[in-house]
């Protein structure tokens, strides 16, 4: 099982900001790639997931997700929303950095900090892709970050270009002779 850590997550968040900050004046009410959400709603969802993962690492529940939700105020600007996403990424990174290797939270089973780092990275990479698609910004997730999450969350992923494989594994694109997936499962829990 691949080792993923908070610096990997930090790099993914930095890449998201590098790609999306220059696009913050565009129309974020357009659909985010193939999702049913707008680009703004996708960014808010991303922030929520990062915060939820930080809560799981910190509280270490054994059987379910904590009953919390993140609400970004309706009047928040897109620069504000991106700062919220970055803040939630920082909270998850900090939670991972301070958790011992034996710490376990719940994500469809007992999941260690490396699993939550990989989950957070995947959310950042694929939702940055979704938003970039909606904003007509040509971008694909960086190969080295994709390799990291593929080896941790998708151990049965096929060989190929890491970005293309991650996009296929998460239902964003077809891959060679494989049609686009309509469902998938990230294997973060230790079995």
| Tokens at 157, concatenated | 């992923």
Residue whose token pair is 């993914």? 12
> What is the predicted pLDDT for the residue at 128?
98
The residues with which 161 forms a beta bridge, in sequence order, are: none
Q: Which residue has the tokens 């969350």?
A: 153
Q: Rounded to an integer, what distance in angstroms lies between the CA atom of residue 144 and that of residue 106?
A: 27
Segment 50-88, tens digit of pLDDT:
999 999 999 999 999 999 999 999 999 999 999 999 999
Report residue 79 as tokens.
Answer: 């620069």
Contacts of 107 (CB under 8 A, 6+ apart): 53, 56, 115, 116, 119, 188, 189
pLDDT over 80 at 48, yes or no:
yes
Rounded to two decimals, what is the model's pTM?
0.95
- Distance (Å) of CA 11 to CA 20, 26, 121, 133, 179: 14, 24, 9, 21, 30
Q: Is the pLDDT of residue 2 over 80?
A: no
- The packing angle between helices 143-153 and 162-169, to 10°, is 50
- DSSP category for residue 179: P
Per-position DSSP letters for 62-104, written without gaps between them: SSS--S------TT--HHHHHHHHHHHHHHHHHHHHHS-TT--
pLDDT tens track for 112-160: 999 999 999 999 999 999 999 999 999 999 999 999 999 999 988 999 9
Nearest-10 crossing angle of helices 143-153, 113-134:
130
């Amino acid at each position: 099982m691949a080792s993923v850590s908070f610096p990997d997550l930090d790099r993914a968040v930095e890449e998201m900001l590098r790609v999306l900050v220059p696009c913050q004046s565009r129309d974020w009410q357009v659909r985010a790639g193939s999702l049913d959400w707008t680009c703004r709603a996708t960014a808010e969802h991303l922030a929520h997931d990062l915060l939820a993962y930080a809560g799981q690492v910190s509280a270490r529940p054994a059987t379910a997700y904590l009953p919390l939700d993140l609400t970004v105020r309706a009047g928040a600007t897109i620069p504000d929303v991106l700062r919220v996403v970055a803040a939630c990424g920082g909270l998850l990174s900090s939670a991972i950095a301070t958790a011992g290797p034996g710490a376990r939270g719940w994500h469809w089973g007992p999941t260690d900090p490396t699993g939550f780092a990989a989950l957070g990275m995947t959310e950042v990479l694929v939702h940055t892709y979704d938003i970039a698609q909606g904003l007509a910004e040509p971008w694909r997730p960086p190969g080295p970050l994709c390799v990291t999450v593929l080896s941790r969350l998708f151990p049965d992923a096929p060989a190929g270009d890491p970005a293309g494989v991650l996009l296929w594994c998460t239902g964003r694109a077809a891959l060679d002779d494989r049609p686009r997936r309509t469902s998938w499962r990230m294997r973060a829990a230790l079995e």
